[in-house]
Structure 1
Amino acid sequence: MNTLLSLETRNAVLLKMAALLEQERAEIIKINKADLEAYDGNDISMHDRLKVDDSKVDEMIASVTHLASQEDPVGVERFQFKHDNGMQVYNKTASFGTVLIIYESRPDVTVEAAGIAFKSGNKILLKGGKESLNSNLKIVELWHQALKANQASSDWVEYLQFNRTETQAFLEKPTQKVDLIVPRGGEKLIAFVKQHASCPVIISGRGNNFVYVHKDANWDIALKLILNGKTAKISACNAIDKVIIDKNLPKKDEFIKTLISKLKEFDVQILGDEALLKQDGVEPIPADSTWYEEFLDYKIAIGEIDSNADAIAMINKYSGGHSSVIVTTDNKEAKTFMENVDTAAVYHNASSRFTDGSQLGLGGELAISTDKLHQRGPIGLQHLVTNKWYVHGTGQIR
């Protein structure tokens, strides 16, 4: 086990990493271009996640710089108690130890997730997808330079070049101690990790997020939020896949017509339930299972719903437990929706695209958890810790 580095050393490594990312910017983009050219898949969301351009490098630099400015998440007192016998009891945050991050195609995770895990005092094992191998290796090389420049062991950040079989073997019988695994990627990856892991796993689950257009919705807000949620970034887990419209919405058909024409401007494929099929450009929803699907594509399913209670029930049945939105001018109805919808983030008149660590004030995230245990929603720096009891005595026995 690596001895916890001082806060000053951890921050210095992060700032050095920021400087190296700036210095090697052109090289990172060049190496990433080779990864992009070698990617022969036709998954547009995968291609989008794989790409590193200037703005992506800017985000990486901003992420580690911000982390260096944040308070130490380790050793924070959560509780204290003075025992009748004079013992002084404290509960404080503590590092997990070693965190394994398994992810697909996103070189920025090699910076952001590793940075969060490192700042919270953990050793990081990175297992990226084969499609981003060269980009990832270059970034890990910079981590090692940043660590060595601050007399810290390069062991703090390690890249695992494993194929699927080797990954499975490592999950089942790790060749080194692993305290926590965070898989970031599609449902297949998550299911694979859950099936084989021999230590706790934080599930960074699927999206399949819903917008409920309540009967008292403001049209402009509803249209804006749906378009932003669906078209701004189709590869994001906080994108919108489903829209349910209250059948009592005034001038409902006119609203639906407007929504369809705006979605068509972005070439979005529109699936609709029976009530929607009378509109032009709408295809039937192929099966009930479509309501469970996360599309990660220019594709949306739209249906009608009878009431707020039915919207809540539908979202709780079909959504991925990630984010949900109600559009309404009725605050009481919004409160009912927000309290009863079982997703990690609930929105009233705002876009689901804000379910993101940096947007919600955490300065970045390791993942977005759809689990309820440990931490739900974006996992920031202050959540990547466990806790420990510190008990000070003078010889007390029980």
Structure 2
Amino acid sequence: MTDIILPMIQQIALQAKDASRALSSATTIQKNDALQAIARELESSRKILIEENEKDLKAAKENGLTDAMVDRLRLNHERIDGMVQGLRQLIELPDPVGGLIEEKTPANGLNIRKVRTPIGVIGIIYESRPNVTIDCAGLCLKSGNASILRGGKEALHSNRALASIINSALSRSEIPENAVQLIPTSDRAALNHLLTLDEYVHCIIPRGGEGLIRFVAENSRIPVIKHYKGVCNLYLDQGCDPQMGLDIAVSAKCGRPGVCNAIENLIVHASQLDSLLPKIGQALQEKGCVIFADERAQKALGDVPSTLASEQEYAEEFLDLRLAIKTVDHLDEAIEFTNRYGSGHSESILSPSAERAEKFQREVDASSVYWNASTRFTDGFEFGLGAEIGISTDRLHARGPMGLEELCSYKYMIQGNGQWK
């Protein structure tokens, strides 16, 4: 099998590099026409998409995947509408390629312009959610990058159907069909070989569980943009609006618990223990949420069942209906806890005090830090980026939701008038 897989991956990478050269010079109209063609093809292929997705859902249930993981895998009309809407939002966004970042004329008289350029070939390694296939393909196309997509085995039928839709649409456009390619096997040998092809692939973006991301980062010869996990925290400060606290805490945990921007820890100022926490606990219990809590929070929860929280729970990305609660007496303690256990993804403070909120936002080390809003907004679509290719917790090149501009590198374009020394 390896004798077949390795040449196939080599060929895919070579085709992607060739396609990236043509794509880098494609006009905005050509790219937008291709995105519109994919959107139309999606709308007309709903029936087969849902049928193929049902095969993945059936296998997932037979293999004992959690309800949260099955939810990540599911395609329905609403989610297909979301993919179509994301593509059309991309069409409306400015083309980042060629955009001027900076211009200067130093003492030597040279005119120096720093302009955005495509990265080239981007490999996206992802699990579960098949909508990633469309989101990433669309973002790469608009930003002038060829993409190699490698989804997980749990979404194999869905991803193949989506890739077929993309390739069919591109075959009728002026964009090279090989600008988007799906690796058609879930064999680990294919991934291992892809990660060595730094001659053809310029960037790898893994999306999935911590195990997958660490494997990619540790085995890739290609630069990797990553976030290992999404341990997000919500801090209920003293004096926070009770209804706001209840609404945001429950929805940020229970709305879609299997996504990386859902909260895993709820930090509660001691002044909120007797008044607000019991109401939140009751609402979480009604949603089926399992609660871990420190001793003071357990006492305040009363009849709401909970288990004593340990270091393990505070550091864990649950990705399901489990939540850990920590009591603090001071804002500094909340900040210290957030920086210690958070993963640098998204954190939030609910507070009536601008001064305290500003301190939290300034001192918490994360890609997105909120004041009086849910962490669930950390998303390219919500940020107006036209979906995102991933959420980076790195500090170099890109941080937070990665939209079109973050999928570009840059080069300097210099004009002189005869300078030679």
TM over 0.5: yes
2:255 equivalent to 1:240: no
Q: Which residue of 2 aligns with 1:377?
A: 400
Q: Which residue of 2 aligns with 1:350?
A: 373
One-letter amino acid matched to 1:353: R
Contact 1:64 1:112 in 2 (8 A): yes
Which secondary structure state, in structure 2, belongs to the residue aligned with residue 304 of structure 1?
strand
Query: How far did 1:267 drift?
Result: 0.9
Tell me what 2:207 maps to.
184
Q: Which residue of 1 aligns with 2:48?
A: 27
Q: How much has 1:175 moved relative to structure 2?
A: 7.9
- List per-residue Cα deviations over 1:136-171 (Å, max 9, x = no partner): 111111111221111332110111134113311321
Per-residue CA deviation, residues 328-385 of structure 1 (Å, 9 max, x unaligned), is: 1111111111111111111111111111111122121111111121121111112110
Query: In the alignment, which residue of structure 2 is the partner of 1:271?
Result: 292
Task: Give distance in 2, aligned partners of 1:372 and 1:89.
Answer: 26
What is the alpha-carbon distance in structure 2 between the residues aligned to residue 266 and residue 257 of structure 1? 14
Contact persistence 2:198–2:222 (CA under 8 A): no
The amino acid that maps onto 1:231 is C
Contact kept in structure 1, 2:112 and 2:413, CA below 8 Å? yes
Provide the TM-score with structure 1 as the length reference.
0.96
Letter in 1 for 2:69: M
- CA RMSD between the two structures: 1.5
Matched residue, 1:16: 37
1:213 and 1:275, CA in 2 relative to 1: closer, same or farther beyond 3 A?
same
What's the CA shift for 1:277?
2.7
Letter in 2 for 1:170: L
Distance 1:82 1:76 in 2: 18
The aligned counterpart of 1:98 is 121
Selected match of 1:290 from 313, 331, 340? 313
Mapping of residues 1-398 of structure 1, within 5 Å: 1=18, 2-3=21-22, 4=24, 5-39=26-60, 40-162=63-185, 163-171=187-195, 173-174=196-197, 177-249=200-272, 252-278=273-299, 279-398=302-421
CA distance in structure 1 between the aligned counterparts of 2:84 and 2:228, rounded to whole angstroms: 26
Distance 1:286 1:216, change over 3 A: closer
Give the Cα–Cα distance (whole angstroms) in 1 for the partners of residues 149 and 418 of structure 2. Answer: 44
Q: Deviations over 1:298-322 (max 9, x none)?
A: 1111121110000000100001111
d(CA) in 2 for partners of 1:7 and 1:72?
6
CA apart distance, 1:214: 1.1
- For residue 146 of structure 2, what is the amino acid of its counterpart? K
Quote how far apart the aligned CAs of 1:183 are: 0.4
SS at match of 2:326: strand
Q: Distance in 1 between matches of 2:105 and 2:351?
A: 50
Displacement after TM superposition at 1:203 (Å)? 0.6
Normalising by the residue count of structure 2, what TM-score does the alignment of the two structures yield?
0.91
Structure 2, unaligned stretches of length 5 or more?
1-17
Displacement, 1:25?
A: 1.1
Q: How far did residue 83 of structure 1 move? A: 4.0
* Preserved CA contact (<8 Å) 1:323 1:355: yes
Q: Which runs of 5+ in 1 are unaligned?
A: none
Q: Percent identity?
A: 34
